[in-house]
Amino acid sequence: MKLPIPPIRALRPLHVPFATSSYLTTPQFYSSTASSGHRAPPLAGITVVSLEQAIAAPFCTRQLADLGARVIKVERPGVGDFARQYDDRVNGMSSHFVWTNRSKESLALDLKDKEDHAVLMKLLERADVLVQNLAPGASARLGLSHDALKDKHPSLIVCDISGYGQDGPYRDKKAYDLLIQSEAGLLSITGTASKEPVKVAISIADIAAGMYAYTNILSALLQRGKDGQGCRIDISMLESMVEWMNFPLYYAFNGAPGPVPSGASHASIYPYGPFEASDGQVMLGIQNEREWTKFCTDVLQQPDLASDSRFSSNKLRTRNRDALKTIICDVFSQLTASETITRLEAASIANANLNDMQGVWKHAQLQARDRWVDIQTPVGTVPALLPPGSSKSVKQGGYGAQMGCVPKVGEHNRAILAELGLAE
């Protein structure tokens, strides 16, 4: 086998109880210790093997790692996951890769090589979950389908993530995030009135698929705890994205026209979106008639507007949004953004700043709640956001999150091979 041989790093042995983990001694791991009082993370002792690339599967398995699972990421020797090369914004590393791959071990294998393939099969003997998002049909050709593995590994949970699912006429069609946004109808409701399609600027279809894979794996682990049986999970990006599209789908029920693209404004609630003040934009949202009346009286200081026949219901305000926007902006143009927000706050009207990325890095609420921690990468320390629901301190018997290192390609080959009793 032609495998890279990096320095050995301390690892948690396969299926050894979590309390003995060497990770407990590292500052990046907020876990069960006498000093912290945290409970052990719920997936302590669970081993996940993932043949993953891009975003969907890595995002799924990072959630599992956050909850304490041991995640072994199988990568191509030398180059690794192609998401490593997406950009070099994080001190030379890819922003996507740093985001989705902390707390994992990297095992570099050429799965077309018989000896490397045998390493993977031996590793699966000790695994609880196998996740893969390879090209359509690739895992089956490698003998890694649930059907191929279930007799020898009846308790193994196999999760397949693909663009369109494991059957049907689109089964073998290549799928990337933007293409799924298009197929799912998302591009028909984003953008502006100019009708030029605008994609969501994050990998929303990948994220949706990754989260449904994650929650299905958690459910499968609970079920296995009852009957001891593994299962197959078939997650498609299309189905995940269409699930998130159910509001516009129902809005277009029985052949009705769908939501009209409306930029950053809401397609069916108004006023809800950005409005210009004298020195910048303010984001606000009105959800009900009580708030509408309060907005007219206290913010616009035009109480009669609340009963104006053009605006007396949300349906009418949405229909006459251009006229209403003119009235709102006429008032806001006399105020600064800060003065506008002061009025909105006093009236208990929901509002927000239009932050850029630097504004989010410095967000006062995230700082106040102590949501940032440092993690290690091959190029040094970088900040990372604690997963929602976890904290550094004990809260109501909570557990800490695993906030481990971002691995180099093949960083853990020697250690994992040694665990399996194999030579390089």
pLDDT of 17 higher than 90: no
The answer to whether residue 75 sits within a structural domain is yes
Whether the Cβ atoms of residue 70 and residue 105 lie closer than 8 Å to each other: yes
Whether the Cβ atoms of residue 78 and residue 3 lie closer than 8 Å to each other: no
- Model pLDDT for residues 242-278, shown as the tens digit of each residue: 999 999 999 999 999 888 888 888 878 999 999 999 9
- Model pLDDT for residues 77-88, shown as the tens digit of each residue: 999 999 999 999
CA angle 317-320-325, nearest 5°? 85
Sorted by sequence, the CB contacts under 8 Å of residue 199 that are 6+ apart come out as 178, 181, 186, 187, 190
Higher per-residue confidence, 74 vs 172? 74
Higher per-residue confidence, 116 vs 23? 116
Higher per-residue confidence, 43 vs 20? 43
381's torsion region: left (phi>0), alpha (psi -120 to 50) or beta?
A: beta
> Are 80 and 116 within one domain?
yes
- Model pLDDT for residues 336-353, shown as the tens digit of each residue: 999 999 999 999 999 998
Nearest residue to 7 via CA among 408, 421, 423, 419: 408
Sign of CA dihedral 419, 420, 421, 424: negative
Across 285-289, average pLDDT: 95
Q: What is the pLDDT of residue 97?
A: 96
Q: How far apart are CA 292 and CA 287, in angstroms?
A: 8
> Are 193 and 333 within one domain?
no
Residue ending a domain, among 354, 380, 395, is: 354
In the chain, % of residues over pLDDT 70:
89
Q: What is the CATH number of the domain that holds 217?
A: 3.40.50.10540
Q: What is the pLDDT of residue 260?
A: 83
Q: How far apart are CA 380 and CA 355, in angstroms?
A: 27
> Are 294 and 393 within one domain?
no
> Are 332 and 375 within one domain?
no
The answer to whether residue 260 sits within a structural domain is no
Across 151-167, average pLDDT: 95
Q: What is the pTM of this model?
A: 0.86
In the chain, % of residues over pLDDT 90:
78
The model's confidence at residue 390, banded by pLDDT at 50, 70 and 90, is: confident
Q: What is the pLDDT of residue 397?
A: 65
Q: What is the pLDDT of residue 217?
A: 98
The answer to whether residue 228 sits within a structural domain is yes
The model's confidence at residue 289, banded by pLDDT at 50, 70 and 90, is: very high
Q: Is the bond leading into 169 cis (omega within 30 degrees of zero)?
A: no
Q: What is the pLDDT of residue 191?
A: 86
- Residue 385 has a CB neighbour count (10 Å cut-off) of 12
Residue ending a domain, among 325, 354, 383, is: 354
The answer to whether residue 169 sits within a structural domain is yes
The answer to whether residue 249 sits within a structural domain is no
Q: How many residues does the chain have?
A: 424
Q: Which residues span the domain enclosing 229?
A: 18-244+368-419
> Are 152 and 278 within one domain?
no
164's torsion region: left (phi>0), alpha (psi -120 to 50) or beta?
A: alpha
Mean pLDDT for the chain overall: 88
The answer to whether residue 4 sits within a structural domain is no
> Are 41 and 163 within one domain?
yes
Sorted by sequence, the CB contacts under 8 Å of residue 9 that are 6+ apart come out as 411, 412, 415
Higher per-residue confidence, 224 vs 13? 224
Distance of CA 84 to the CA centre of its chain: 17
Residue ending a domain, among 354, 384, 400, is: 354
The answer to whether residue 410 sits within a structural domain is yes
The answer to whether residue 266 sits within a structural domain is no
> Are 55 and 126 within one domain?
yes
> Are 287 and 232 within one domain?
no
Whether the Cβ atoms of residue 383 and residue 372 lie closer than 8 Å to each other: yes
Go through 288-315 and write b for each residue having 16 or more CB atoms within 10 A of its CB, e for each that does not.
eeebbebbbeebbeeeebbebeebeebe
Higher per-residue confidence, 30 vs 302? 302
Q: What is the CATH number of the domain that holds 286?
A: 3.30.1540.10
Nearest residue to 160 via CA among 14, 60, 46: 60
> Are 201 and 239 within one domain?
yes
> Are 110 and 211 within one domain?
yes
Q: Which amino acid is at 3?
A: L
> Are 315 and 182 within one domain?
no
Number of structural domains (the chain) is 2
Q: What is the pLDDT of residue 197?
A: 85
Beta strands in 239-344 (DSSP E): 272-277, 280-285
> Are 145 and 26 within one domain?
yes
pLDDT of 9 higher than 80: no
DSSP 262-280: -TTS-SSSSSEEEEEETTE
